[in-house]
A = this chain, B = another copy of it.
């Protein structure tokens, strides 16, 4: 590898925001300040859209107080984008990079973002323009390959676990069936996190449905019925991406049933969040099939990824370290994606960061491994809990009196 060029750098944040994607940004800024090879560090406003439109801000100018506040703020401070770059826009981006002498491109995002970097890096190589392209992982879905887990997941999982602690106590107070629809298009990691706050044997969620295991309406109803018969109530955590036994998502089936058009993004992902039709449908199904009087459904929506003030300490630290590592790697390599390797889990959770090829991450999706999913497919295993617990924030211990001895 040739010596790192002395030139400018661009950093952008792409895809759905998380509560720690700004910590990764701050990691990039802090590390970039240490390397004289990086002259200016441009922040691209709204990701690739900002690059194509030459809309940048100067990130090295930000004070350390400002950086601290940015790292604690949810969502993407630079603005984001869901645009999939076309060959034309990639060419445009390269033109901007050439014009501004940009030789380093750091992009914080998911597998689509890794692909964007891969494409642009390859185009640059083809025309003999040295552009070091590094991907910093970010997703609440935790669905990137190679890395043990993704920055953004731990805090979103904390939100989901907290929400279920409260929601389960709410359901104990006013018993019935409660259905919570949780983000996760292809991977069930975030939905699975709903169990992490369980403290008593009969705490909910009692059922967990993830995209990795198809489930029929019939099986869903019969599962709920069993729990209601046993406990007099039931809390079910359902991934927005759950699939019927023919492998079509319930969301798609429902949209067809309702005669609605399904919105897709530039990456052909269908819109699942920001609508609550699935939750309402499931609630009506339970009411109709089981005759349970009190059935409620909530869709956690965007709160899961952007709720402020509940950052997991591990998550925010790792997000920042991944940002720093990308800059360090760019001093000696041409491209790559930062990944996390778990060294030990108990008694002390430790990790190390390493580089993987962009092509190993680009456009690929990791799903929950079989050993994390219960045999019946409607719950998680202890192996999942051991995997996820070190990643989340502190959860409060709660009390409920309804099962105390009668007098």
* Interface pair A303/B163, CB less than 8 Å apart: yes
* Selected contact of A279 from candidates B276, B401, B402, B405, CB within 8 Å: B276
User: Chain A interface residue count: which class?
Assistant: 35 or more
On chain B, the residues within 8 Å of A39 by CB distance are none
* Interface pair A169/B301, CB less than 8 Å apart: no
Q: Is A406 an interface residue (CB 8 A)?
A: yes
On chain B, the residues within 8 Å of A400 by CB distance are 73, 75, 77
- A90 and B404 CA atoms in complex are apart in Å by 25
On chain B, the residues within 8 Å of A406 by CB distance are 45, 55-57
* Interface pair B276/A16, CB less than 8 Å apart: no
* Interface pair A173/B17, CB less than 8 Å apart: yes
* Interface pair A167/B302, CB less than 8 Å apart: yes
A297-B276, A401-B78 known; A170-B17 Cβ under 8 A: yes
On chain B, the residues within 8 Å of A72 by CB distance are 396, 398
Q: Name the residue of chain B whose CB is nearest to the CB of A197.
A: B308
Q: Is A58 an interface residue (CB 8 A)?
A: yes
A173-B76, A397-B69, A398-B69 known; A167-B303 Cβ under 8 A: yes
* Interface pair B276/A75, CB less than 8 Å apart: no
On chain B, the residues within 8 Å of A76 by CB distance are 173
A161 nearest CB across to chain B (Å): 10
Q: Which residues of A contact B (CB under 8 A)?
A: 13, 16-17, 19, 22, 40, 42-43, 45-46, 55-58, 66, 69-70, 72-82, 162-163, 165-167, 169-170, 172-175, 178, 273-277, 279-280, 283, 295-303, 305-310, 395-402, 404-407
